[in-house]
Amino acid sequence: MDMRRLVGLNFARLRRDKGLTQEQFAEMSGFTQQYVSDLERGRRNPTVVTLFHLAGPLGVEPSDLVAKIEDEDSDLARMA
């Protein structure tokens, strides 16, 4: 799977798990809603520093954003 796509899927799942909309995440993080949307669709190529800044507001480790999608998430990956 494309790394940009993987980060986008993981980010979207983690954001939803926290009960945040894209707009809410944008407000609390300083990223724009458009950046968040593009990220989730695999249209952004975040740097290592950006991964760190994305992970902080979610309360996760940057490595969680690049983690292999588990079997239970495979339906999400196919749908997206």
pLDDT of residue 69: 85
Q: What pLDDT does 10 receive?
A: 97
For residue 11, CA distances in Å to 3, 23, 71, 73 come to 12, 14, 17, 12
Where residue 52 sits, what CATH number does that domain have? 1.10.260.40
Q: What is the pLDDT along the chain (80 residues), one digit of tens a residue?
A: 899 999 999 999 999 999 999 999 999 999 999 999 999 999 999 999 999 999 999 999 999 999 998 755 554 555 44
Other CB atoms within a 10 A radius of the CB of residue 59 amount to 10
Dist. CA 1–CA 9, nearest whole Å: 11
Domain that holds residue 65: 3-79
Domain count, the chain: 1
**How many other C-beta atoms lie within 10 A of the C-beta of residue 30?**
10
Measured CA to CA, the distance from residue 61 to residue 43 in angstroms comes to: 22
Q: What is the pLDDT of residue 1?
A: 80
| Amino acid 76: pLDDT | 52
**Predicted local distance difference test score (pLDDT) of residue 74:** 52
